[in-house]
Structure 1
Amino acid sequence: MTRLALGQMRQRPATFLGLAAALFLAVATMTLFGSLLAAQLDAPARARTAPTGPGLTVIAAAFGEIAVLVAFFVVVNALGFAVRQQHRELALLRTIAATPRQVRRLVRHQVVAVVVLVAVPGSVAGAVAARRFLTELTRRGMASPAVRVPATPVPMLVATAAALVVGTAAAAVAARRIARIAPAAAMAASSTEHGRGGLMRVLVGAAALVGGGLLCRLAATRPPDEGDKAGQAALLASLVLLIAVALLGPLAARGMVAVLGAPVRAVAGCSGWLADANLRGYAHRLSAAVVPVALLVGLSGTMSIMTSTAENALGRAADPGLTTVTSDTDTWLRQVELALLVCFAAVSTVNTLVALTADRRREFALLTLVGATRRRLLSMLGIEAVLTTAVGVVLGGLVAAAASSSFSVALTGSAVPSVPAATCGWIVVGAAALTVPGILGTGARAASGPATERVGGQRG
């Protein structure tokens, strides 16, 4: 089983590189905040109270709560995508008498192999980041100079163990469908787009949507002097709403492409028609591409708008209670948190789009054999990239609008937040810069070579 797992990883390096990057960031993040907590516990009693600011424990808990949730979200999404990319091979194993338990073991072996691969570098990166972060906190007066990161492997071991637990749990969920259906049905599903959303997925997505709405309400009902709590609730609401987007993505993305694709079909001719047909025909592939873009835009947009809203609220009404969310140190903390979240979202975006496009070699070969030129293929991919970016930006923007509006209600009483137009514009440009070149560059490579050789490869 281990040999089969490693063979699949060698066959699809792009897919498992994405999973490795997600797990690396997860291990590093958990090590970072675990090390900060260990430093606080190991410090002398007189040094555990910060000179200014919320304190090391509060910072580590607040950062870790959101960052770890995002890390797990990215890991589960990457693993689910990796399993979907192996659907044909797993279906073939089922037809030659592999049991559901063996299929699940195969996926678990892959996860364990990737965690073992990234455990040491991820732990080292997290430990180094913890020391640098603590140094900056000390310089800004948010940690006592007597606090030091202890030389203990406990945070690294806990982070690795947590990554293993989450990875194996995600493997069980990701391999559930291919393991439980009949071998003949599994093989038939591998020739078409599989994994269509069932009732359970829709129900869980609807529950996440309701949960995100309740968190937005919780954020909106906080008094102005509890701006920190309102901000954390709003940020958590944005993450829960993005989970709903991931679950309901195929339905939402297909509908949005139908609307956005109409003018494209009219203007771009054959290339636009092909791009629109591809996006709507493979709703789950579209959803997999859109979700990381929405994650990037939703989280970064929420953080940027919340910061701008808090700063403007302080400028309009000199309320001492607002200083807890608008001080220089708190603004710096939010910027660090935003950078961390954007890092996760950017890695997820690039990995997903590159792996998705690279896996379409056979599709591009078939289009070439029926007369599509390389220029036509790249034109089609360019339009797909633009539409994918547009859908992701719209979905992420809706999430950011809902979360930041609730935060604005808590601080100012108005549901209209202060939107930093320049910053939001750069967020959209950043999303496009990650999406369009990634799809076009990978597509150009996947479309190279003789079509008759590529047509025998895996289905896109």
Structure 2
Amino acid sequence: MRAVISLALGQLRRRPAAFAGTAVALFLAIAALTLFGLLFAADITAPEAVRKETTGPALMVIAGAFGEIAVLVAFFVVVNALGFTLRQQHRELALLRTIAATPRQTRRLVRGQAVVTTLLVSAPAWAAGAAAAQGLLAELQRRGMAAPGVRLPGSPVPVLVPLAAALAAALAAALAVALAASTVAARRISRITPAAALTASSTEHGRTGALRLLAAVGVLVGGGLLLRLAATRPTEEVDKAGQAALFGSLVLLVAVALAGPLAARVLAAALGAPVRALAPGAGWLADANLRGYARRLSSAVVPVALLVGLSGTMLIMTSTAEHAAGAAASSVTSATDVWLRQAELALLVCFAAVSTVNTLVAVTAERRREFALLRLVGATRSQLLRMLTAEAVLTTVVGILLGAAVAGAASAAFSTAVNGSPTPSLPVAGCWWIAAGAAALTVPGILGTGLRAVRGPAAELVGGGRD
């Protein structure tokens, strides 16, 4: 075990940039768990008389409704980030297999990296989560949604146990997710032969597996059932309809991730023609790259769809609820509900933005050797950047379309529950801002990483002299 930890720390020191996305994702996950765990602990440790000082829902109920989707999205981001961290190490792990490393040793190394990264970020994540919990509790108290006498667990012995339990639960949950994700991610390279592992590090399978497509169909059906549940909630249970619709949108995004290569290839083929017409050279190469590497395109598209799908669902649901409330929207209850949705939207956008930037940087950075080969056959840096621009635009459009489809289905279900019509109230300006935000993350992220990836001597990069 000591050797595994030593190797894991060596990889972290040698390639800190490769683990930066995973570290940030784990930081956010532990901070979110700590935030909502401390709110739960505050409610549990508060005297009964103090809790009765407010007539609204209990702090535990607010924390649960506010945090359940945020925590699930945080774990989705962790799984995605860990997968890309492993993908960046695919060549090194394949080389380890060729020099007699066993599949078990490979899996232990990957799990060791996940554990070490989680432990390194746990302390600052706890601190950030505690600070966020204090700020959120103060804001809830200011708005009359939490009793003034409720306090977060501190140093006194009676509340030390729930405080320690909240922090330990956050770390344990993050470790469990990190270990499970790293095991799944390392499964493919550890099961094949060493020679095949080395070959797989530089190739991509063209087809989406039948099991993966079946899983996508099953998850899609589950998402549809959740949206049906949301649509059939009575009008007085708007909050439950909103939570079911938001959870359904997350499940649909998981289905998009599973069926991503197929969906991305179809959409790229449909959108490729106008790109080739507008940019005959760079557009043709970008279209060929995207369709030929559907898994890579899917990896870049899914976080964009996550960003657009979740933020679009929250924005449209909030607008629909405000429109349905009409003049009653000026009441204290409606105002606080809108504030809670806006705060949840900000948190979800933060997680989705981290996933988007991390994924796009990882996907583009791993193409250094590909860019070097193109330069050796005559492509200039400016031509490569034009190609990357076309790819970035296509990636953004595909991601926005998939995310918009999810947001449209979820908000239609919520609108049916609220006002009996599947046509929601659409905030056009807000939707344009979401699309613009997705483009602002995607295009500069790809081009900025591409600028760095095309630097250096091409022959040296092709030969593996630089990483």
Give the TM-score taking structure 1 as reference length: 0.96
1:397 partnered with 2:408 = no
> Which among 367, 383, 386 is matched to residue 379 of structure 1?
386
Equivalent in the alignment of 2:362: 355
Equivalent in the alignment of 2:334: 327
> Which among 305, 310, 313 is matched to residue 316 of structure 2?
305
> Which among 337, 341, 344 is matched to residue 348 of structure 2?
341
- Classify the secondary structure of the residue corresponding to 2:259: helix
Equivalent in the alignment of 1:412: 419
What do the CA deviations read for 1:425-457 (whole angstroms, capped 9, x no partner)? 000000000011111111011111221222223
Equivalent in the alignment of 2:160: none
> Which among 431, 437, 441 is matched to residue 424 of structure 1?
431
> Which among 236, 239, 255 is matched to residue 247 of structure 2?
236
Measured in 2, the distance between the counterparts of 1:64 and 1:87 equals 34
**Structure 1 pair 304/86, CA: closer, same or farther in 2 (3 Å)?**
same
Measured in 1, the distance between the counterparts of 2:288 and 2:223 equals 32
> Which among 239, 249, 253 is matched to residue 264 of structure 2?
253
The percentage of aligned residue pairs carrying the same residue is: 70
What do the CA deviations read for 1:136-175 (whole angstroms, capped 9, x no partner)? 0000001111100012333122101111111111111111
1:452 partnered with 2:459 = yes
Q: How many residues align?
A: 456
What do the CA deviations read for 1:53-102 (whole angstroms, capped 9, x no partner)? 32211111112211111011111111112222222222222222211111
Measured in 2, the distance between the counterparts of 1:84 and 1:458 equals 19
**Structure 1 pair 50/201, CA: closer, same or farther in 2 (3 Å)?**
farther
1:79 partnered with 2:90 = no
Measured in 1, the distance between the counterparts of 2:15 and 2:69 equals 31
Measured in 1, the distance between the counterparts of 2:457 and 2:466 equals 16
1:26 aligned partner, one-letter code:
A
Measured in 1, the distance between the counterparts of 2:266 and 2:332 equals 38
Shift of 1:325: 11
Measured in 1, the distance between the counterparts of 2:451 and 2:390 equals 14
Measured in 1, the distance between the counterparts of 2:408 and 2:64 equals 26
Measured in 1, the distance between the counterparts of 2:14 and 2:400 equals 33
Equivalent in the alignment of 2:175: 164
1:249 aligned partner, one-letter code:
G
- Classify the secondary structure of the residue corresponding to 1:327: helix
Shift of 1:50: 5.8
Equivalent in the alignment of 1:15: 18
Shift of 1:230: 0.3
Check conservation: 1:359, 1:459, Cα contact below 8 A. no
Check conservation: 2:54, 2:144, Cα contact below 8 A. yes
Measured in 2, the distance between the counterparts of 1:283 and 1:6 equals 33
Check conservation: 1:219, 1:410, Cα contact below 8 A. yes
- Structure 2's unaligned 5+ residue stretches are 155-162
> Which among 279, 294, 317 is matched to residue 283 of structure 1?
294
Measured in 2, the distance between the counterparts of 1:49 and 1:111 equals 43
Check conservation: 2:320, 2:424, Cα contact below 8 A. yes
1:117 partnered with 2:120 = yes
> Which among 62, 67, 78 is matched to residue 64 of structure 1?
67
Check conservation: 2:39, 2:152, Cα contact below 8 A. yes
- Tell me whether 354-363 or 109-118 shows the greater mean CA deviation: 354-363
2:423 aligned partner, one-letter code:
V
1:147 partnered with 2:150 = yes
1:261 aligned partner, one-letter code:
G
Measured in 2, the distance between the counterparts of 1:212 and 1:50 equals 39
1:2 aligned partner, one-letter code:
I
1:366 aligned partner, one-letter code:
L
Measured in 1, the distance between the counterparts of 2:80 and 2:188 equals 15
Runs of 4+ residues over 4 Å off in structure 1: 322-326
1:15 aligned partner, one-letter code:
A
Shift of 1:323: 9.3
Equivalent in the alignment of 1:99: 102
What do the CA deviations read for 1:173-200 (whole angstroms, capped 9, x no partner)? 1111111122222222223125963222
Aligned residues: CA RMSD: 1.9
Shift of 1:362: 1.0
Q: Superposed, which structure 2 residues align to 1:429-444 within 5 Å?
A: 429-444=436-451
**Structure 1 pair 374/277, CA: closer, same or farther in 2 (3 Å)?**
same
Check conservation: 1:325, 1:331, Cα contact below 8 A. no
Give the TM-score taking structure 2 as reference length: 0.94
Measured in 2, the distance between the counterparts of 1:459 and 1:209 equals 43
**Structure 1 pair 52/368, CA: closer, same or farther in 2 (3 Å)?**
farther
Equivalent in the alignment of 1:218: 229
1:343 aligned partner, one-letter code:
C
Check conservation: 2:206, 2:293, Cα contact below 8 A. no
Equivalent in the alignment of 2:193: 182
1:109 aligned partner, one-letter code:
G
Measured in 1, the distance between the counterparts of 2:295 and 2:66 equals 32
**Structure 1 pair 194/104, CA: closer, same or farther in 2 (3 Å)?**
farther
- Classify the secondary structure of the residue corresponding to 2:141: helix
Shift of 1:4: 2.5
Equivalent in the alignment of 1:45: 48
**Structure 1 pair 445/308, CA: closer, same or farther in 2 (3 Å)?**
same
What do the CA deviations read for 1:396-423 (whole angstroms, capped 9, x no partner)? 0000000000000001111111110000
Measured in 2, the distance between the counterparts of 1:20 and 1:49 equals 40
Equivalent in the alignment of 2:281: 270
Measured in 2, the distance between the counterparts of 1:458 and 1:307 equals 53
Check conservation: 1:78, 1:352, Cα contact below 8 A. yes
- Tell me whether 157-166 or 42-51 shows the greater mean CA deviation: 42-51
1:416 aligned partner, one-letter code:
T
**Structure 1 pair 382/458, CA: closer, same or farther in 2 (3 Å)?**
farther
1:142 aligned partner, one-letter code:
M
